[in-house]
Structure 1
Amino acid sequence: MTTVEIEYCVPCGMLDRALTVQEAILRQFADRLDRASLVMGDHGIFVVRVDGETVFDKEEDGFDVDEIVRRVRPYVGE
């Protein structure tokens, strides 16, 4: 099965975004995941990893929950 980590910047107040992404991923793939966890970070980080591979990084990508879910999909199968 698959693990998802959402690392977010605590001092920046990104918890709400992290929770929104986590909820969207769980709604789509909960039965195919081992874990969808939040990881506290700092320095402006907001990164989503699937099985250790980065699928979203706010430094490179615009924040779009639907796009993040689409990027997770290939890792969990249909």
Structure 2
Amino acid sequence: MTSVEIEYCVPCGLLDPAVQTQTRLLDEFGQDLDGVTLVPGHGGVFVVRADSETIWDKDVHGADLDLELVAEAVEDRLQVTA
């Protein structure tokens, strides 16, 4: 099973997109995941990791979160671990 971690910047107000990401992943893959954990951070961080592998990083992918891309990356990860 796969575990997802969403690290988000608290002072930047990135809790809402973190919760949206968490909800989307749980709705779509809930029973296939070990969990989706929110990790408070700072410094503008917004990083999504699956089994410690970064699948989305705001500094690399840009500020506009693409939930489709994140969901596809998690689905790919689930297929690899199946």
Q: Distance in 2 between matches of 1:71 and 1:34?
A: 16
1:60 is paired with a residue whose SS is helix
Deviations 1:19-56 (A, max 9, x none): 00000111111010111010000000000000000000
The structure with the largest helix share of the pair is 2
Task: Note the residue ranges of structure 1 that are not aligned, 5 or more in a row.
Answer: none
Q: Read off the aligned partner of 2:68 and give its amino acid letter.
A: D
TM-score normalised by L of structure 1 = 0.94
2:5 is matched with which residue? 5
Residue 19 of structure 1 corresponds to 19
**Any idea what SS the aligned residue of 1:59 has?**
helix
1:72 aligns with 2:74: yes
Instruction: Identify unmatched segments of 5+ residues in structure 2.
Output: none
Q: Provide the residue aligned with 1:59 in structure 2.
A: 59
- The list of structure 1 runs, each at least 4 consecutive aligned residues, that deviate by more than 2 angstroms after superposition, is none
